[in-house]
Amino acid sequence: MTKLPMTAAGHAALEDELRHRIRVERLALVQRIQEAIADDPNLVENSEYQIARAEQDINEARIAELEDKLARAEIVDVSRLSGDTIKFGATVTLIDEDTGEKRVWQIVGEPEADPSNGKISVVSPIAKALIGKSKGATVAVETPGGAKAYRVRQVEWFEHSRKRRERA
């Protein structure tokens, strides 16, 4: 069984989603299906029933996916990590060599990646390019928009990087 590295915060988020899908979504979908059957017992032509069943199938598939990811989770305590070399869990401040724009990314597990919130997957092209580098290094990354070069300005270690970025 392949382990999935993730932060404690990422693990907690997956557990929260799983609980919500089981306790709230599953029950609401069962109720919608029952109401649709009560309104029209001809299930073949009952569009409300068909829609609710499709949504139930999607919800059940996501529950199975979450259960699998949580079973394979390898939680990494980022607060116990340190050093100047970039690895899983690091929060890295980068400067775009072309524009001077500052970007802050935390390298996290695939299940918790959320680029819009500054969390990139350890298997993303930029994370792969950063792993093993240190402060001051220049990193070339092939992006969908073309090659980009970044200078590593800072490497930090903390679990909740979003609060830190908001202060920066």
pLDDT digits (tens, 9 = 90+) for 4-42: 999 998 999 999 999 999 999 999 999 999 999 999 888
For the chain, the structural domain boundaries read 4-76, 79-167
Summarised one tens digit per residue, pLDDT across range 134-161 is 999 999 998 778 889 999 999 998 765 4
Q: Tell me the per-residue pLDDT of 42-54, one tens digit each, with 9 for 90 and over.
A: 888 899 999 999 9
pLDDT in tens, 69-107: 999 999 998 888 888 899 999 999 999 998 999 999 999
Instruction: Write the CATH number of the domain with boundaries 79-167.
Output: 3.10.50.30
Long-range (24+ apart) CB contacts under 8 A made by 74-78 are: 74/3, 74/4, 74/5, 74/6, 75/6, 75/7, 75/8, 75/11, 76/5, 76/6, 76/7, 76/8, 76/109, 77/8, 77/159, 78/7, 78/8, 78/157, 78/158, 78/159
Domain 4-76: give its CATH architecture: Orthogonal Bundle (1.10)
Model pLDDT, residue 159: 66
